[in-house]
């Protein structure tokens, strides 16, 4: 269901300015048909996880080309391709880097054979009380302050009070974000400003233990930065002439600030803060209560930039320009059209090999930013399936859990859905069906399964205890795996916050990174719906339309930034596979790369889009007969 945005126009060759707001799938079809009018293309402006796109849908194609923008959708398509026994060609780009990989059931590793990077998480206390990096201020401004002011005001977050004894200050903080009846916009803005940048900082400073080994922040009040008279005379709302177009509203325009690459002073950031707040209340009042941050919403980016910079100033963190802040808040790695074109070409080359059943020529190819021995493209023979992969090798998993305390809901939400990525799960214990989802369930069944979710594992008629086996299945993905249960009494609340540990399933450890680097969302990209585009006809393989996308590197954040409570930042350790070694002194022997290789420069697989470009392309060359393939080297 993805639509074309202005930011998409500089990274690909099918869309034009007149297409902004239209379906990517439909516009892409029209563009391709202009230079290949005799091929058949069926566009689907829909979510790839919709029930319409089940295994039978995938079985009609000879190859699937993936260009999705989030890990969840990629895993979903990977499983459908395995179930349908259809080859999958994965791809991704970020800036100058990119890769194309081929996945054949039983012959090469599947997309999930090796761990993908975990979403970047930050403890709540770091975000709300002790930020040390600009990214912390961005997360605070975007996910807490912006959401509190313009999103659902009933949501709980830690902005009202930051102290060890919140009850002592609850009277002061009560309804602080609610605009009082008859309260002027300037007074309301000043009250919010003083609360979040002044009062909350003073409350945090009252805990002396926190600041023994940290630099103490400075409370900032509006009266010290911008006298009330200047707030009243701050901007010229009339400069935002196109009242019916929310995207045209800009605090920078009102204030006469032009360059997004300038680093604003504390005073200018405060002016932007007040002006953007006023514009939301005056020009976009109907949207308040339902807004979520969008990197293409100019006013939202201006507000978040200003708020993050004011907070950064309080904590002695260097300020950033709007251009830099937008890149961090919007998870943007600026795309390079040339890289996208190279990767698109490589996708087509591998697709042709698959359609010609040329298994010995399959390659996983990586595009480098800097040449190594005059090479920018590094081909690698595909790896064989990982025998311990629970997706393609059906290896049993082990779940350590306190069966006397944990409920079935904990297992379904924290393990089956969150870690195994099943969207329509079914849970069985022996022949007993404990949980199921589906549109065809009657009310009694729904009520029964809902009641089961709140039962303790050992409390079922056939108790789930140590030594028993749960079978979990996703009917849409046609994926089934067994989970061996091991009873365990106690868990470390900090290192094992879920109160259970899954073995045989691994995530890559999260790495720290530079503040200016992209933090991928996908979903938020993570939450972007995925569109499916099917191409049918013999000439489809030669069409030059291949997905172009900007995605994050493995080792960087793979999804949206997530704020987690203290103690939940631990990631189950997983060994990250080094796909390619690039030595400064020698050309690597690409045919003998192993998991144990190491060097200063490691090429890592790109997993996720940052910009919401998401496409699945299916090709049918007219040959529906099964294709037998030899085991790859």
Task: Supply the residues annotated as catalytic.
Answer: 125
Instruction: Say how far apart CA 546 and CA 542 lie, in whole Å.
Output: 10
122: helix, strand or coil: strand
Task: Tell me: is residue 424 an annotated ligand-binding position.
Answer: no
Task: Tell me: is residue 73 an annotated ligand-binding position.
Answer: yes
Q: Pick from 312, 20, 90, 33: which is nearest to 320 by CA? A: 312
Q: Which helix (H) or strand (E) holds 616?
A: strand 615-620
Instruction: Say how far apart CA 334 and CA 546 lie, in whole Å.
Output: 19
Instruction: Say how far apart CA 522 and CA 331 lie, in whole Å.
Output: 8
Which DSSP string do the residues of 558-615 spell out, in sequence order? -S--EEE-TT-------PPP--EE--SSS---GGG--TT---SSEE--EEEESS---E
Task: Tell me: is residue 56 an annotated ligand-binding position.
Answer: no
Pairing label, strands 425-429, 432-436: antiparallel
Chain centroid to Cα 14, Å, comes to 25
65: helix, strand or coil: strand
Task: Tell me: is residue 72 an annotated ligand-binding position.
Answer: yes
Instruction: Say how far apart CA 129 and CA 111 lie, in whole Å.
Output: 39
CB neighbours (10 Å) of residue 394?
11
Contact 548, 67 (CB under 8 A): yes
Instruction: Say how far apart CA 54 and CA 84 lie, in whole Å.
Output: 9
Instruction: Say how far apart CA 325 and CA 138 lie, in whole Å.
Output: 7
Task: Tell me: is residue 234 an annotated ligand-binding position.
Answer: no
Phi, psi of 624, rounded to the nearest 5 degrees:
-95, -5
Task: Tell me: is residue 113 an annotated ligand-binding position.
Answer: yes
Instruction: Say how far apart CA 16 and CA 437 lie, in whole Å.
Output: 42
Buried b (16+ CB within 10 A) or exposed e, 413-438: ebbbbebbbbebbbbbbeeeebbbbe
Q: Pick from 244, 266, 240, 243: which is nearest to 252 by CA? A: 240
Contact 425, 434 (CB under 8 A): no
Task: Tell me: is residue 110 an annotated ligand-binding position.
Answer: yes
Q: Pick from 247, 340, 321: which is nearest to 609 by CA? A: 340
- The residues with which 473 forms a beta bridge, in sequence order, are 426, 480
CB neighbours (10 Å) of residue 124?
16
- Full 3-state SS string of 143-208: HHHHHHHHCCCCCCCCCCCCCCCHHHHHHHHCCCCCCCCCCCHHHHHHHHHHHHHHHHHHHHHCCH
Instruction: Say how far apart CA 167 and CA 341 lie, in whole Å.
Output: 58
Instruction: Say how far apart CA 283 and CA 242 lie, in whole Å.
Output: 10
Instruction: Say how far apart CA 465 and CA 322 lie, in whole Å.
Output: 55
Phi, psi of 89, rounded to the nearest 5 degrees:
-110, 115
Task: Tell me: is residue 389 an annotated ligand-binding position.
Answer: yes
Task: Tell me: is residue 69 an annotated ligand-binding position.
Answer: yes
Task: Tell me: is residue 610 an annotated ligand-binding position.
Answer: no
Task: Tell me: is residue 623 an annotated ligand-binding position.
Answer: no
CB neighbours (10 Å) of residue 576?
21
What is the 8-class DSSP label of residue 416? I
Binding-site entries for Zn(2+)? 110, 113, 389, 392
Binding-site entries for ATP? 8-11, 24, 69-74
Binding-site entries? 8-11, 24, 69-74, 110, 113, 389, 392
């Amino acid at each position: 269901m993805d639509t074309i945005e202005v930011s998409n126009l500089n990274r690909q060759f099918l869309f034009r300015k007149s297409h902004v707001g239209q379906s990517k799938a439909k516009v892409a079809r029209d563009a391709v048909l202009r230079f290949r009018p005799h091929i058949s293309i069926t566009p689907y402006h829909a979510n790839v996880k919709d029930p319409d796109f089940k295994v039978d849908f995938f079985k009609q194609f000879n190859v699937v080309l993936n260009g999705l923008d989030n890990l969840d959708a990629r895993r979903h398509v990977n499983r459908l391709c395995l179930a349908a026994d259809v080859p999958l060609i994965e791809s991704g780009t970020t800036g100058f880097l990119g890769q194309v990989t081929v996945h054949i059931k039983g012959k090469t590793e599947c997309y999930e054979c090796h761990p993908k990077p975990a979403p970047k998480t930050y403890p709540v206390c770091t975000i709300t009380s002790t930020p040390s990096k600009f990214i912390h201020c961005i997360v605070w401004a975007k996910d807490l302050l912006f959401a509190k002011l313009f999103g659902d005001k009933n949501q709980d977050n830690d902005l009202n009070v930051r102290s060890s004894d919140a009850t002592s200050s609850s009277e002061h903080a009560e309804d602080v974000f609610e605009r009082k009846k008859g309260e002027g916009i300037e007074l309301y803005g000043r009250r919010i400003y003083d609360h979040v940048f002044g009062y909350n900082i003073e409350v945090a400073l009252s805990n002396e233990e926190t600041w023994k080994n940290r630099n103490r922040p400075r409370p900032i009040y509006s009266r010290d930065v911008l006298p009330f008279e200047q707030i009243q005379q701050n901007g010229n709302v009339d400069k935002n002439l196109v009242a019916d177009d929310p995207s045209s509203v800009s605090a920078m325009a009102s204030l006469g600030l032009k360059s997004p690459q300038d680093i604003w002073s504390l005073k200018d950031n405060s002016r932007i803060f007040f002006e953007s707040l006023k514009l939301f209340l005056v020009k976009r009042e109907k949207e308040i209560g339902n807004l979520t941050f969008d990197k293409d919403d100019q006013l939202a980016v201006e507000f978040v930039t200003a708020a993050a910079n004011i907070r950064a100033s309080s904590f002695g963190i260097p300020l950033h320009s709007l251009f830099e802040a937008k890149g961090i808040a919007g998870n943007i790695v600026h795309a390079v059209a040339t890289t996208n074109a190279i990767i698109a070409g490589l996708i087509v080359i591998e697709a042709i090999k698959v359609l010609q059943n040329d298994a010995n020529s399959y390659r996983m190819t990586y595009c480098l930013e800097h040449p190594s021995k005059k090479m920018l493209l590094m081909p690698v023979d595909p790896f064989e399936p990982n025998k311990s992969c629970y997706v393609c090798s059906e290896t049993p998993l082990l779940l350590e859990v306190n069966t006397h305390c944990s409920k079935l809901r904990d297992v379904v939400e924290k393990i089956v859905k969150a870690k195994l990525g099943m969207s329509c799960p079914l849970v069985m214990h022996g022949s007993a069906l404990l949980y199921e989802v589906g549109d065809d369930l009657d009310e009694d069944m729904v009520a029964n399964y809902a009641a089961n979710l709140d039962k303790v594992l050992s409390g079922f008629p056939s108790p789930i205890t140590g030594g028993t086996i749960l079978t979990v299945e996703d009917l849409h993905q046609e994926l089934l795996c067994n989970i061996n249960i091991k009873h365990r009494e106690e868990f470390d609340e900090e290192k094992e916050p879920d109160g259970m540990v899954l073995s045989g399933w691994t995530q890559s450890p999260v790495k720290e990174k530079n503040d200016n680097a992209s933090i991928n969302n996908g979903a938020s990209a993570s939450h972007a719906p995925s569109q499916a585009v099917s191409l049918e006809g013999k000439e489809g393989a030669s069409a030059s339309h291949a997905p172009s996308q900007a995605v994050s590197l493995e080792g960087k954040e793979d999804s949206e930034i997530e704020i987690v409570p203290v103690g939940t930042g631990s990631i189950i350790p997983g060994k990250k596979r080094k796909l390619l070694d690039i030595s400064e002194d020698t050309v690597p022997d690409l045919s003998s790369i192993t998991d144990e290789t190491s060097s200063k420069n490691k090429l890592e697989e790109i997993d996720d889009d940052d910009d919401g470009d998401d496409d699945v392309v299916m090709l049918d060359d007219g040959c529906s007969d099964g294709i037998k393939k030899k085991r790859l080297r």
